[in-house]
Amino acid sequence: MGKPIKCIRVFKHLQRIINEPSFYPHLQRKSLLNRIAENIVWGIKYHEINDWYNYWGIDLKGVSGDKFLSENILEHTLMYINGEKGKNKKRYNYVMLLDDKFLFYAVMKGLHLPTPEVVAFYTGSELKYLNDFSQAQLFRGGETYFAKVIYGSQGKQVEKVNNREELEKFKEKWRGNKFIVQKTVCQHKEMSAINPLAINTIRMVTVYDGKNIKVLSAALRCGSKASGFVDNFSNGGGAVLIDRNGRLEKYGLHFKGVPTCTECHPDTGFRFAGYQVAYYDEAVALAKKAHAFLYASCAIGWDIAITDGGPTIIEGNYHWGLSIMQSKDYQIKNKWQELCDAYGVKMGI
């Protein structure tokens, strides 16, 4: 019974992707038969269902799926390059420095790189205050904080904390889990003009080929009314690619309730095309500087907030978000091939 049920699920999954409307309705789409064939071929070739087929624009006429990097190949090659698998397997796994929010903060703080201050660490049963910070200082001037489970991702298990009562509630809710209490970032006024409800961060991916650190790709993640105080895709936010000069591309994608690409933010009406992201060059320099100290990771997805004083690093991500970066960016696969070649890793499954 297991195999027939799995086949039915795969069929329904593919059916949903093929029947999805195009994200780019102003452009001509391939025929239904073409889209069916391409999704079947992708599954056979890469051993995965491509949930991002329409989002990446592969459904459009003139766009070849061969230009795109598959998630399975990315994951496979990433583990070999980072020494998690293969003949050059390392004794230690450095991914923890990115995945553990408390460890990541400690590294950034120790290197004197700009990052929001963590004032307390919850051990699962007790709240421990850091750097001479005390309970009496919490919320004293009306400040707000974020409570983040140390292994959380995609904006999950992140809560905005406005007072002591809310903090006590989260301590009870997350009892047994570890989390940090972090000061809220005050973002640049131009970023607030895009969306004032959340910190709109730059997701910047840097890669290290053993000699040089380069920017692979960058996008601005925008919160919305649907996503609330976070800017993540999974919570209803959207994203806009950033070109090499720090200017936003024309279209934003994946906003909840907006089934197609959009030239403006759905809530504020902010027009994306050509907007120069404040302190972009400084953000690039900061990401490269930070990556130089995390030398064991070949690729890191940095979440960088822009404040009135410049960029500040919110976190670094091992899983850097191929789905965002490959939306209408046809160079990701070629750039990743260059990185694999530098490490002598075959780009395949």
Q: Give the residue from 183, 209, 225 where a domain finishes.
A: 183
Which pTM value belongs to this model? 0.91
The tokens of 47 are what? Answer: 């051993």
- Residue 143 inside a domain? The answer is yes
Q: What's the pLDDT score for residue 132?
A: 83
Residue 153 confidence class, pLDDT cut points 50, 70, 90: low
Residues 312 and 227 in one domain: yes
Instruction: Tell me, rounded to whole angstroms, the distance of Cα 190 from its chain centroid.
Output: 21
Confidence category of residue 141, pLDDT binned at 50, 70, 90: confident
Q: Are residues 226 and 172 in the same domain?
A: no
Task: Please indicate, yes or no, whether residues 304 and 254 belong to a single structural domain of this protein.
Answer: yes
Same domain, 21 and 59: yes
| CATH number reported for the structural domain that contains residue 310 in this entry | 3.30.470.20
Does residue 240 sit in the same domain as residue 258? yes
Specify the residue for token string 């790709």: 217
Model pLDDT for residues 220-273, shown as the tens digit of each residue: 999 888 766 676 666 678 899 999 999 999 999 878 767 789 999 989 999 999
Residues 145 and 292 in one domain: no
Q: How large is the angle between the packed helices 332-343 and 71-81, nearest 10 degrees?
A: 30
- Number of domains present in the structure of the chain: 3
Q: Mapped to the 3 state alphabet, what secondary structure does the chain carry?
A: CHHHHHHHHHHHHHHHHHHCCCCCCCCCECCHHHHHHHHHHHHHHHCCCCCCCCCCCCCECCCCHHHCCCHHHHHHHHHHHCCCCCCCCCCCCCCHHHHCHHHHHHHHHHCCCCCCCEEEEECCCCEEECCCCCHHHCCCCCCCEEEEECCCCCCCCEEEECCHHHHHHHHHHCCCCCEEEEECCCECHHHHHHCCCCCCCEEEEEEECCCCEEEEEEEEEECCCCCCCCCCHHHCCEEEEECCCCEEEEEEECCCCCCCCECECCCCCCECCCCECCCHHHHHHHHHHHHHHCCCCCEEEEEEEEECCEEEEEEEECCCCHHHHCCCCCCHHHHHHHHHHHHCCCCCC
* Residue ending a domain, choose from 155, 183, 211: 183
Residue 37 has phi, psi (to 5 degrees) of -60, -45
Domain identity same for 179 and 312 = no
Question: Is residue 288 included in any domain, yes or no?
Answer: yes
- Of 61-75, 122-136, 334-348, give the lowest mean pLDDT range: 122-136
Check whether residue 225 and residue 168 sit in a common domain: no
Q: Tokens 């994951």 appear where?
A: 75
Binning pLDDT at 50, 70 and 90, where does residue 152 land?
low
User: Do residues 242 and 217 both lie within one domain?
Assistant: yes
Please name which of 115, 79, 94, 77 lies closest in space to residue 293, comparing C-alpha atoms.
Answer: 94
> Would you state the pLDDT for residue 32?
96
Same domain (yes/no): 133, 198: no
pLDDT above 60 (res 336): yes
**In this structure, are 18 and 40 located in the same domain?**
yes
Residue given tokens 């590294």 in the structure block: 107
Mean pLDDT of the chain: 89
Contacts of 294 by beta carbon, 8 Å cutoff, 6+ apart: 94, 97, 98, 107, 300, 316
Q: What number is the average pLDDT over the span 330-344?
A: 93
* Residue 103: inside a domain: no
Euclidean distance between CA atoms 75 and 78, whole angstroms: 5
Q: What is the pLDDT of residue 52?
A: 94
Burial 307-333 (b: 16+ CB within 10 A, else e): beebbbbbbbbbbbbbebbbbbbeebb
Q: Do 282 and 337 reside in the same domain of the chain?
A: yes
pLDDT at residue 174 is higher than 90: no
Q: Which two tokens stand for residue 130?
A: 């850091």
Mean pLDDT of 37-53: 95
Domain span holding position 140: 117-183
Residue 51 forms part of a structural domain: yes
- The domain that holds 139 is classified in CATH as 3.30.1490
